[in-house]
């Protein structure tokens, strides 16, 4: 089955990185590590990757970047006191979709 | 039935390329692409990225509008809460005077970056009732909440002189009204909850979603200045979401735990799913209205802690293709 999503790494510089007009046409999903999920086989999405100088990643490469970020956040949370843990939620694992 | 010529005085033009400066409402046939085209006001309901905050934060509070907002307090990373505050001018965030009491999970409201109220939250673990008033230059300690609470949902009126604080921990159904000097206990929520979205004013508000106790809820309550009424539920139960709106007939809620990107729009009767956040998250700071809002900071962190997004639901003139099939 053809993949429906693709991944890239691009640093969010703020205004102009994703415009309203782009967000209304393209379904973006941002993840830790500056990983962005966008539709595959989509001219608008490909133009956006070009605009932001994104580096295209395979699913496995993108997942490894996200995992490293989540593991670091979980390690920080695990070091909290019990009271502090009770006042927050342990960062959950994130599984990217094909 | 009136024809296009009856209305506009001329027929639909057959042109080989789109006119360079069509007027709103103009229709033409593009013979090159084979499409019927028009200039129309299109409602773009979408989030765009905006410039990052200077200090990463979550469990924070917000106030103001999309072009004149404040972010204050929260956590910047485990474990200590922060007093740090920043102002947004529609383009950039600038550090301003810090609050007197560092805290996270606080409530906040206000109508611009020069006018806000911060209340409740937690400085270590227990909830506090401290209230501080921002006048554009300094934070001043004023009278405390009657019931110390954290994880409050909040609705603020047009200034820091009229606000409503509802829900939280440990008193999930407690509601208090701020008159500029004091908090007064008023009618309780029907469904007690924490980490709900608040929107509106002290006389016209919504309390949407949240956790009640142990379970996420979709429940939505409407405040008319006197009491609460259960009205149309959110499309999905969630906590850690944020709200923006100027009254109880027009609002949006966005985000939620653990990394929800959904945005829902309230028309006074029901909620409709609209454009997603570009980065799903929870425990952000909110500002603005149902048509121009701001989302900043949030979890999962720390990467999301400085992110800012701007919501637009305003009709914008655009050239569109008319589908004829």
**Cβ-defined contact of A69 to B280 (cutoff 8 Å):** no
Q: Cα(A35)–Cα(B168) distance, rounded to whole angstroms?
A: 34
In DSSP terms, which residues pair with A29 in a beta bridge?
Answer: A37
How close, in Å, is residue B292 to chain A by CA atoms? 12
Of the candidates B101, B104, B143, the one whose C-alpha atom is nearest the C-alpha of residue B122 is B104
For domain B46-312, is the CATH number 2.120.10.80? Answer: yes
Domain coordinates in residue numbering, chain A: 5-86
Domain coordinates in residue numbering, chain B: 4-43, 46-312
**Cβ-defined contact of A18 to B49 (cutoff 8 Å):** yes
Radius of gyration of chain A (CA): 16
Determine the residue among A9, A12, A74, A80 to mutate to test chain B binding: the one whose Cβ has the most chain B Cβ atoms within 10 Å.
Answer: A12
pTM above threshold 0.90: no
Which tens digit of pLDDT belongs to each residue from A24-36? 999 999 999 999 9
Alpha helix (H) ranges present in chain B? 4-8
Given a cut of 80, whether residue B233 has pLDDT beyond it is yes
How close, in Å, is residue B58 to chain A by CA atoms? 11
CB contact at 8 A, B49 and A12: yes
Which tens digit of pLDDT belongs to each residue from A8-62? 999 999 999 999 989 999 999 999 999 999 999 999 999 999 999 999 999 999 9
How large is the ipTM? 0.90
Chain A residues touching residue B299 (CB < 8 angstroms) = 89, 91
CB contact at 8 A, B255 and B236: no
Which of these ranges, A8-17, B3-12, B47-56, B216-225, has the smallest mean pLDDT? B3-12
For residue B308, what is the nearest residue in chain A, using CA coordinates? A14
Chain A residues touching residue B122 (CB < 8 angstroms) = 87
Chain A residues touching residue B45 (CB < 8 angstroms) = 24
Residue A84 has phi, psi (to 5 degrees) of: -70, -35
Confidence at B324, pLDDT banded by 50, 70, 90: low
Write the CA distances from B79 to B76, B83, B283, integer angstroms. Answer: 8, 13, 16
Confidence at B154, pLDDT banded by 50, 70, 90: low
């Amino acid at each position: 089955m053809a993949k429906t999503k693709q991944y890239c790494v691009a640093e969010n510089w703020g205004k102009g990185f994703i415009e309203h007009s782009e967000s209304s046409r393209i379904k973006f999903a941002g993840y830790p590590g500056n990983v962005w999920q966008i539709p595959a086989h989509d001219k608008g999405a490909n133009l956006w990757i070009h605009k932001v100088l994104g580096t295209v990643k395979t699913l496995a490469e993108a997942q490894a970047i996200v995992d490293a970020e989540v593991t670091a956040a979980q390690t920080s949370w695990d070091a909290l006191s019990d009271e502090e843990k009770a006042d927050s939620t342990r960062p959950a694992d994130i599984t990217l979709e094909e | 039935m009136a024809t296009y010529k009856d209305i506009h005085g001329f027929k639909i033009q057959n042109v080989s390329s789109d006119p360079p400066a069509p007027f709103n409402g103009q229709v033409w046939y593009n013979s090159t692409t084979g499409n019927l085209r028009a200039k129309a006001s299109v409602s773009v309901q979408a989030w765009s990225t905006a410039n990052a905050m200077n200090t990463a934060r979550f469990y924070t509070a917000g106030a103001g509008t999309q072009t004149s907002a404040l972010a204050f307090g929260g956590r910047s990373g485990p474990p200590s809460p922060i007093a740090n505050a920043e102002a947004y001018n529609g383009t950039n965030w600038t550090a301003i005077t810090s609050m007197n009491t560092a805290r996270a999970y606080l409530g906040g409201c206000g109508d611009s970056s020069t006018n806000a109220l911060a209340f409740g939250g937690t400085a270590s673990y227990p909830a506090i009732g401290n209230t501080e008033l921002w006048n554009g230059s300094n934070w001043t300690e004023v009278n405390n909440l009657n019931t110390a609470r954290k994880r409050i949902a909040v609705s603020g009126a047009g200034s820091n002189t009229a606000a409503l604080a509802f829900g939280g921990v440990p008193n999930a159904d407690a509601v208090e009204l701020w008159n500029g000097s004091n908090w007064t206990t008023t009618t309780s929520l029907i469904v007690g909850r924490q980490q709900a979205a608040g929107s509106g004013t002290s006389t016209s508000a919504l309390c949407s979603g949240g956790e009640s106790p142990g379970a996420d809820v979709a429940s939505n309550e409407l405040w008319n200045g006197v009491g609460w009424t259960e009205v149309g539920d959110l499309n999905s139960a969630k906590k850690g979401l944020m709200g923006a709106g100027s009254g109880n007939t027009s609002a949006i809620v966005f985000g939620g735990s653990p990394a929800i990107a959904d945005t829902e729009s309230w028309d006074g009767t029901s909620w409709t799913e609209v454009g997603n956040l570009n980065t799903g998250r929870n425990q952000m700071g909110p500002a603005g209205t149902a048509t121009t809002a701001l989302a900043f900071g949030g979890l999962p962190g720390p990467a999301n802690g400085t992110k800012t997004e701007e919501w637009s639901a305003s009709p914008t003139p655009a050239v569109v293709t008319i589908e004829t099939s």
